[in-house]
Structure 1
């Protein structure tokens, strides 16, 4: 099995949490909101928009985007398990969210650089580099983080 296949299998295994916690996540989806700063930044852009959400995971933020006025959300995730669980919740709550298994593409930056995305525990307040080349978000709480590798 290649490193890529191992990574996908590990991510998919970790995503079984979205299945085990389905009832709790369904309750969260019913009232989900983004952080106030996220809502402030996105409020002028989201109403009526078809939103694409890379690394959507459990899909809870997608429900918040619909509540903010998005016409639809296409959630993309690396894990077939996460995609299936998020799609089940969207169907049950009858929201215009759909989900697909996908990888973030190469950036086009020389050297085979890729962009990866993860969920941190806070909105990122700045980047720390430790060791050099291993950027990570400096913050606490949760929030999206993009990293160039």
Structure 2
């Protein structure tokens, strides 16, 4: 059997091609736009959501955008709300949602959870697409949910 070629010389080139690799300049720092959520990222985000420790925030930024990005943004004067906006945008991009910076800012601004990290853009998108009417479920007839009575052979 002959191996089929895709025209891409390596996995990295192939993945860049299919995932639409691109960069963005944020506070003077050119970063790769996140294309996928790293394993364990959402769990780690939940664990650190109540933390305001700089090293925890730096860990999240490093996971999404790469090493030294957090320090460069801090040196450029990035503030907390701005950082939350960029993280929200980055998480959306990594989840496959092409969210604009304005939409990310709106999500951060309307978060009513007392300054915690905003809900995952994935989750928000799923909720907004839900077709639920909000009404109660229909009752299932008793005949279809009960088991047949068994008689004893004693």
Q: Taking structure 2 as the reference length, what is the TM-score of the superposition? A: 0.23
Q: Which has the higher helix share?
A: 2
Q: Taking structure 1 as the reference length, what is the TM-score of the superposition? A: 0.24
